[in-house]
Chain A
Amino acid sequence: MNLKMKGITKSFGANNVLQGIDFSLSGGEICALLGENGAGKSTLMNILGGVLQADQGTISIDDRLVEFATPLDSLNAGVGFIHQELNLINDLAVYENMFISREIKKKNGLLDIDAMCEETKKVFERIEVDIDPKTMVRDLDASYKQIVEIARALMMNARLIIMDEPTTSLTEPEIEHVFTMMRTLKKQGVGIVFISHKLREVMEFCDRYTVLRDGQMVAHGNVCDTSINELAKFMVGHEVRTESLRQQREYGEEILRLENLSLDKKFKNISLAVHKGEILGVTGLLGDGRTEVFQTVFGCMPEYSGRIFVEGQECKISSVQQAMNQGIGYVPRDRKENGIIKDMNIMENASIAVLPKMTRYGIIDKIRQKKEFNGFVESLRIKLRKSTDLIGSLSGGNQQKVVLAKWLMANPKVLILDNPTQGVDVGAKEDIYNIILELAKQGIAVVILSSEAQEIIRICNRAVVMYHGTIQDELHGDEMKEETIMRLATGGHK
Chain B
Amino acid sequence: MNGKEKQNKNVLSWLVSQWKNNSLFSIGLVLLFMVILQTLALNYSACESFGECVELWIRNFTNVLRNNAGIGIISLGMTFVIISGGIDLAVGSTLVAVGAVMMVIMDANTIGTLSRFGITGVPAYLIAIVAGILVGLVLGGFTGSLVSWGMIPPFIVTLGTQKIFRSVTQHFMQSVNPKVPAPFCKLANAEIGGYMILPIIYWIITAVILYIVAQKTVFGRQVYAVGSNERTAKLSGVNVNKVKCKVYILMGFLVALTATLTIARIGSMDYANAGAGYELDAIASVVVGGTSFSGGKGSIQGTVMGVMTIAIMNNLLNLWGVPPFLREAFKGAIIIIAVLLQKKEKA
Given A337-B232, A355-B218, A359-B218, also A343-B224 (CB < 8 A): yes
B166 within 8 A of A: no
Do B217 and A348 touch across chains, with their CB atoms under 8 A apart?
no
Contact with A along B232-265 (1 / 0, CB 8 A): 1111111100000000000000000000000000
Question: Is B297 on the interface with A (CB-CB < 8 A)?
Answer: yes
- CB-based contact A341/B235 at 8 Å: no
Cβ contact within 8 Å between B225 and A352:
yes
Tell me the smallest distance from the CB of A295 to a CB of chain B, in Å.
8
Asked if B144 is at the interface of the complex by the 8 Å CB criterion, the answer is: no
Residues of B with C-beta under 8 A to A337: 229, 231-232
> Is the beta-carbon distance between A343 and B296 smaller than 8 angstroms?
yes
Q: Which residue of A lies closest to B212 (CB)?
A: A363
The proximity string for A residues 323-339 relative to B, scoring 1 for CB distances below 8 Å and 0 otherwise, is 01000001010000111
Number of B residues, CB within 8 Å of A:
22
Whether the Cβ atoms of B237 and A344 lie closer than 8 Å is no
- Give every chain B residue within 8 A of A10 (Cβ-Cβ): none
The contact of B221 among A319, A340, A348, A406, by CB within 8 Å, is A348
Q: In the bound complex, how far is the Cα of B296 from the Cα of A337, in angstroms? A: 14
Is B228 touching A342 in the complex (CB atoms < 8 A)? yes
A352:B238 contact, CB within 8 angstroms: yes
Please determine whether A406 and B218 come into contact, CB atoms closer than 8 angstroms: no
The A/B interface has a contact count, at CB < 8 Å, of 72
From B212, B216, B225, A344 is in contact (CB under 8 Å) with: B225
Any chain B CB within 8 A of the CB of A237?
Answer: no
Alpha-carbon separation in the docked complex, A43 to B277 (Å): 49
B222 at the interface (CB under 8 A from A): yes
A362 at the interface (CB under 8 A from B): yes
- Identify whether the interface residues of B are mostly helix, strand, loop, or mixed: helix
**B241 to chain A: closest residue by CB:** A319
Bound-state CA distance A364–B224 (Å) is: 15
| Complex alpha-carbon distance, A324 and B233, angstroms | 13
- Knowing A343-B297, A352-B238 touch, does A338 contact B216 (C-beta < 8 A)? no
Contact residues in B for A341 (Cβ distance below 8 Å): 224-225, 228-229, 232-233, 296
Q: Is the CB of A338 within 8 A of B224?
A: no
Neighbour of B237 across the interface among A320, A340, A358, CB < 8 A: A320
Taking a contact as CB atoms closer than 8 A, the residue among A298, A340, A363 that contacts B217 in the complex is A363
- Name, among B224, B229, B232, B233, the residue most crowded by chain A CB atoms within 10 Å (CB to CB): B232
Q: Which residues does chain B contribute within 8 Å of A359, judged by CB atoms? A: 217-218
Indicate which residue in B218, B231, B237, B239 contacts A338 across the interface (CB closer than 8 Å).
B231
Chain B residues near A340 (CB, 8 Å)? 229, 232
The minimal Cβ–Cβ distance linking A418 to chain B, given in whole angstroms, is 10
| Chain B proximity of A23: nearest CB distance (Å) | 27
Contact digits for B198-236, partner A, Cβ 8 Å, 1 yes 0 no: 000000000000001000111001101101110111111
Kindly list chain B residues whose C-beta atoms are within 8 Å of the C-beta of A364.
Answer: 216-218, 221
A321 near B228 with CB under 8 A, answer no
Q: Which residues of A contact B222 (CB under 8 A)?
A: 352, 355
A356 close to B (CB within 8 Å): yes
Within 8 Å CB of B233, what residues of A? Answer: 341, 352
A50 to B228, CA, bound (A): 31
Tell me the nearest residue of chain B to A332, going by C-beta.
Answer: B235
A300 interface residue per 8 A CB criterion: yes
Does B212 contact A320, Cβ atoms closer than 8 Å?
Answer: no
Residues of the B chain whose Cβ atoms lie less than 8 Å from the Cβ of A344: 221, 224-225, 228
Chain B proximity of A250: nearest CB distance (Å): 32
- Closest-CB distance, A379 to chain B (whole angstroms): 20
Complex CA–CA separation, A321 to B221 (angstroms): 17
Return B210 CB to nearest CB of chain A, in Å.
14
Asked if B212 contacts A355 (CB within 8 A), the reply is no
| Residues on B with beta carbons closer than 8 Å to the beta carbon of A319 | 239
> Least Cβ distance of B199 to chain A in Å?
27
A330, B229: Cβ atoms closer than 8 Å: no
Residues of B within 8 A of A410 (CB): 237
A343/B232 in contact, CB under 8 A: no
> Quick check: B237 and A321 within 8 Å, CB to CB?
yes
- By beta carbon, the residue of chain B nearest A298 is B235
Using CB atoms, name the residue of chain A closest to B216: A363
Q: Which residues of A contact B297 (CB under 8 A)?
A: 343
Instruction: Determine whether the beta carbon of A320 is less than 8 Å from that of B234.
Output: yes
**Residues of chain B within 8 A of A332, CB atoms compared:** 232, 235
Q: Identify A353's interface contact among B224, B229, B231, B236, CB under 8 A.
A: B236
Set of chain A residues within 8 Å of B231, measured between Cβ atoms? 337-338
* Minimum CB–CB distance for A329 against chain B, Å: 10
Distance of A342 Cα from B225 Cα, bound (Å): 9
CB nearest neighbor in A for B298: A343
The answer to whether B218 and A300 touch across the interface, beta carbons within 8 angstroms, is no
CA distance A364 to B222 in the complex (A): 12
Q: Check if A339 sits within 8 Å of B232, measured CB to CB.
A: yes
Type the 1/0 row for B17-30, where 1 means its CB is closer than 8 Å to any CB of A: 00000000000000
By beta carbon, the residue of chain B nearest A299 is B237
Q: How far is the CA of A342 from the CA of B292 in the complex (A)?
A: 13
In the complex, which residues of chain B have a beta carbon less than 8 angstroms from the beta carbon of A339? 232, 235
For A356, give the chain B residue with the smallest CB separation. B218
* Interface pair A321/B229, CB less than 8 Å apart: no
**Smallest beta-carbon distance B6→chain A, Å:** 20
Q: Find the residue from A340, A341, A344, A359 having the highest chain B CB count within 10 A.
A: A341
Complex Cα spacing A358 to B221, Å = 12
A362 neighbours in B (Cβ, 8 Å): 217
Per-residue CB contact flags for chain A residues 344-358 toward chain B (1 = under 8 Å, else 0) read: 100010001101101
Closest A residue to B240 by CB, please name it.
A320
Mark A119-159 against chain B: 1 for CB-CB distance below 8 A, else 0. 00000000000000000000000000000000000000000
- A354: nearest chain-B partner, CB-CB: B237
What separation, in Å, do the CA atoms of A272 and B231 have in the docked complex? 27
Shortest B68–chain A CB gap in Å is 29
Question: Distance in Å from the Cβ of A256 to the closest Cβ of chain B?
Answer: 18
A101 to chain B, nearest CB (A): 17
The interface residues of chain A lying within 8 Å CB-to-CB of B225 are 341, 344, 352
Known contacts A359-B217, A364-B216, A364-B221; A300/B235 CB under 8 A:
yes
Given the known interface contacts A363-B212, A364-B216, A364-B221, the answer about A343 and B228 at a Cβ–Cβ threshold of 8 Å is yes
B-side contacts of A330, CB under 8 Å: 235
Q: How far is the CA of A298 from the CA of B221 in the complex (A)?
A: 23
Q: Is the CB of A338 within 8 A of B217?
A: no
- What does the 1/0 interface line of A292-326 toward B look like (CB < 8 Å)? 00000010100000000000000000011100100
CA distance A353 to B296 in the complex (A): 17
Measured CB to CB, the closest approach of chain B to A363, in angstroms, equals 5
Q: B239, A321: Cβ atoms under 8 Å?
A: yes
Shortest CB-to-CB span from B93 to chain A, Å, is: 31
**Which B residue sits closest to A322, measured CB to CB?**
B237
Best-buried of B212, B228, B229, B297 by chain A (most CB within 10 Å): B229
CA of A355 to CA of B223 in the docked complex: distance in angstroms?
13
A-B contact pairs, 25 of them (CB 8 A): A300-B235, A320-B234, A320-B235, A320-B239, A321-B239, A337-B231, A338-B232, A340-B229, A341-B233, A343-B296, A344-B225, A348-B221, A352-B225, A352-B233, A353-B237, A355-B221, A356-B218, A358-B218, A359-B217, A362-B217, A364-B216, A364-B218, A366-B216, A406-B236, A410-B237
- Known interface pairs A338-B235, A355-B221, A366-B216; 4 further A-B residue pairs with C-beta atoms within 8 A, sorted by A's residue number: A330-B235, A342-B229, A353-B237, A358-B218
Residues of A participating in the B interface, judged by any CB pair closer than 8 Å: 298, 300, 319-321, 324, 330, 332, 337-344, 348, 352-353, 355-356, 358-359, 362-364, 366, 406, 410
| Interface residues of B, Cβ cutoff 8 Å to A | 212, 216-218, 221-222, 224-225, 227-229, 231-239, 296-297
Question: Can you list the 3 inter-chain pairs with the closest CB atoms, starting with the nearest?
Answer: A343-B228, A343-B296, A353-B236
